[in-house]
Amino acid sequence: MELISEYIYLNISQKADLDSSFCVTTQDQSYILLTFGLSTNDCLFDLTDNNYEFQIRISKTYFEKYNETLDINVEKQTICCNTQAKLLEIINCKLTGIHRKIFLESNILYLLYQSQKNNLIFQLGCDSCAILNKPIEVEKINLAKKYILDNLSNNLTIPIIASNVGTNQCYLKKGFKEIFNQTIFEFIQENRMIKAKHLLQNPNPNITEIAFSVGYSSLSSFSQAYKNYFGISPLEQTKAVFPNN
């Protein structure tokens, strides 16, 4: 394992037999253990046909400085676009020395936060919610999340999503907000924009093709949405990454 600091260790390996991307959080008396899988089958980004497994070990003494107890909830879960993007940034990190350690430590802490934020038990802690007392509906909401991530290039509307996962629109909208703390529109927008930003960082990107790949029917609507989200246009983004192009 690579020693990031006296508290944090990281190991990245390639895995041939990884069917889907995931996160598992466990703990023992001394360490919080995070395992992430990044699979070509469902990753939003191009992994060039490689699957990866990340093993992260964080000493519990790291958190003593906060003077609060960090309650860890254990549950295998799918991972969102933000988590996938952070994992990819770690794979592609070319920094060395202290700059690498700072970069990796900050990303690992973000991954820990995301693993707990996305954990249903951690988020809710509530026995009174009608939607979340119905396991079948919770399963359908999670299926809706997966359907969205698998179909970012397609027309995504609440009626279409609800029909594909077998629930009604009211349950879908209410349940999605309660579980993921985002509206469906916010979730779709976030994932489309993050995927687009990643694609724009490739050499000589075709902005029109990228627009279509993230569900926009025209370059103008994509450019406006991108600028509204990030504050710069897709073209400005490419020039920032490749100033000599």
Q: Which domain holds residue 144?
A: 126-181
Does residue 148 sit in the same domain as residue 235? no
Over residues 203-230, the pLDDT tens digits come to: 888 999 999 999 999 999 999 999 999 9
The torsion region of residue 181 among left (phi > 0), alpha (psi -120 to 50) and beta comes to left
Question: Low-confidence residues of the chain, pLDDT below 50?
Answer: 120-129
The total number of structural domains in the chain stands at: 3
Q: Which amino acid is at 70?
A: L
pLDDT reported for residue 131: 52
Does residue 66 sit in the same domain as residue 152? no
Does residue 14 sit in the same domain as residue 110? yes
pLDDT reported for residue 103: 96
Angle at 95 between CA 91 and CA 99, to 5 degrees: 120
Which of 146, 163, 181 is at the close of a domain?
181
pLDDT reported for residue 122: 40
pLDDT reported for residue 125: 41
Write b or e for each residue in 50-83: b if 16 or more Cβ atoms lie within 10 A of its Cβ, otherwise e: ebbbbebbbebebeeeeeeeeebeeeebebbbbb
Q: Are 53 and 36 in contact (CB under 8 A)?
A: yes
Is 0.75 topped by the overall pTM?
A: no
Does residue 143 sit in the same domain as residue 194? no
Does residue 103 sit in the same domain as residue 211? no
Does residue 9 sit in the same domain as residue 108? yes
Does residue 118 sit in the same domain as residue 139? no
CATH code of the domain covering residue 230: 1.10.10.60
